[in-house]
Amino acid sequence: MKTINRLVLLLMVVMLCGVAAMAADDEKPMKYINAKDLRIINRGWTNTIRDYDRLPAFLKDSVRDVLWERSQCSAGIAVRFATNSTSVGVKYRLLWDTHMKHMADTGLKGTDLYIHEGDSVWRHVNTNRPYTDSLKWCKSTYVSNVEPRMQEYMVYFPLYDGVEELYIAVDSAATITCGNPELISDKKKIIAYGTSILQGGCASRTGMAATNILSRELNCEIVNIGISGEGKMDYCMARAMTDIADADLFLLDPIPNCPEMMCDTLTYDFVNIIRKARPDIPIVMVEGPIYPYARYDKTMGNYLPRKNAAFRRNYEKLMAENPNNLYYIDCVNLDGVEDDGTVDGIHLTDLGFKYYAAKLLPVLQPIMESVK
């Protein structure tokens, strides 16, 4: 009996030591660096109401309330930094702490950590699970026990929630800088306008939105102006985009939110607003996908191609007037619908976003490589 009691006591001591060690690890001294003091990328404007809104303050009274609200999602925005910390974490406060039935919280309101491994290769390290407290704060450690040498990192913000403030956590004695500006170069910038699909619905994590995939592939900033349900070719949006002085390419993908009449009547003027204001900047027009159910739903199977046909007619009219700096991407294999590319018949899975990015890349890459 005494032997058993000793064994039980020994086991309890071992367990308590393990808990103490875990607690000590959790309480490891960390410092929190405001993302604003590092390098924020993929923003089109700085004159915003909140730090991480995607549209400028001057548009608030010019757009529909729902468009403005959804523009406050931080889709595409990221922070770049370099550190020699052995641990890297994040702490941030959400705007809404929202939830959707068809999109994982890790993509909707989580954050992704990437590390640079040379030759323009970015590797996914980890994703935080966005558990929030009563004040909508999320706090998480992405990785520990990292070799203590300077390495380049990037954290992608939530796709379908807003961020009030965000901090990067590193060892208290670690060095942290804004990182190498040549990685995700701020000398090249794409302005991407579109719908919920472009915004990132429904990526399982934030780094898998198409604009973020393409940004890593092209080593350039991509400003995500995908507005869920509201990519309706509002002329004020076109005018606002032309104000982005360092734009090198405009990517236009509005068709999923536009009825056939809009595709027919708005496309020409929407594109021309941009074209006349920025005649030397390439414009890439992207058709809308043919959703997988449309092969069985005969009404949609006829309607979706008609929208694309109206879009193409306007492209051809624009090309006839001036063929310079205008490109067109059709919908063939756009989203991988034949290989489970959607989560709900419309919005993309990670696989769908890989297909989408792969379809756009051969057109975008030579254009961006020509940018000096």
Calculate the alpha carbon distances from 90 to 32, 145, 175, 264, 280 in Å.
8, 16, 16, 46, 40
- Please check whether residues 216 and 151 belong to one and the same domain: no
- Please check whether residues 314 and 365 belong to one and the same domain: yes
Calculate the alpha carbon distances from 89 to 80, 194, 295, 338 in Å.
13, 32, 45, 38
Structure tokens at 145: 């026990």
Regions of the chain short of the pLDDT cut 50: 4, 7-11, 13-25
CB 44 within 8 A of CB 54: yes
Structure tokens at 109: 């309101």
pLDDT of amino acid 337:
64
Residue range of the domain that includes 307 = 185-369
Q: Is residue 58 part of a domain?
A: yes
Given 142, 177, 212, the domain boundary residue is 177
- Please check whether residues 158 and 280 belong to one and the same domain: no
- The total number of structural domains in the chain stands at 2
Q: Is residue 25 part of a domain?
A: no
Q: How many Å apart are CA 340 and CA 351, to the nearest integer?
A: 7
Distance from CA of residue 189 to its chain's centroid? 14
CATH code of the domain containing 107: 2.60.120.260
pLDDT of amino acid 351:
94
Bridge partner residues of 220 (DSSP): 185
Residue 53's identity, in one-letter code, is D
Q: What pairing do the DSSP bridges indicate for beta strands 88-94 and 283-286?
A: unpaired
- Please check whether residues 145 and 230 belong to one and the same domain: no
Q: How many Å apart are CA 35 and CA 80, to the nearest integer?
A: 9
Q: Phi and psi for 142 in degrees, rounded to 5?
A: -75, -45
Structure tokens at 138: 């999320």
- Please check whether residues 202 and 256 belong to one and the same domain: yes
- Please check whether residues 124 and 262 belong to one and the same domain: no
- Please check whether residues 231 and 160 belong to one and the same domain: no
Task: Write the pLDDT tens digit of every residue in 269-308.
Answer: 999 999 999 999 999 999 999 999 998 999 999 999 999 9
Structure tokens at 94: 């959400």
